[in-house]
Amino acid sequence: SHNDKITLILHSWSRIMLLFMAESNFQFAVTPIPSKDTSVSETVPSQEEPIMKAVERMQTFIRKCQQMSVDTKEYEFFRMLVLFNSGYPGLSSPETIDQLSSVVQQLLQQHVRVSRPKDIMYYS
């Protein structure tokens, strides 16, 4: 349904974007802005700290994908698996989404058997 399409996109867009970033080996740096309020104690975490931790997690994920030598086809399958997640709340037809996800999983497994014949358990 139209609502399911919107639900899938709303719940998956950030992870899909992260996969695109990993595929393109996206590199970025975040420079904290110096605080103007010098009365704040050094023991209190800055407002930038959660953002920096999120950036570090993203960079770690991108590095891991690079280390694993994920190929273009695998990224395509991963994006589809993120999109077709029947666990997102608000879906009216999760069983249909589950069927799509199963097909994508089978296609990924088939691709791995062909592209990584010595390591068919690569994504297990």
pLDDT single digits (tens) 31-50: 766 666 555 555 555 666 77
85 falls within a domain: yes
Cα–Cα nearest to 17, from 60, 75, 89, 84 = 75
DSSP string, 61-78: HHHHHHHHT--HHHHHHH
This prediction has a pTM of: 0.78
Q: Which domain holds residue 93?
A: 2-31+46-115
CB-based contact 115:71 (threshold 8 Å): yes
36 falls within a domain: no
pLDDT single digits (tens) 72-86: 999 999 999 999 999
97 falls within a domain: yes
- As for how many domains the chain has, the answer is 1
18 falls within a domain: yes
16 falls within a domain: yes
Question: Mapping DSSP to helix (H, G, I), strand (E, B) and coil, where does residue 90 land?
Answer: coil
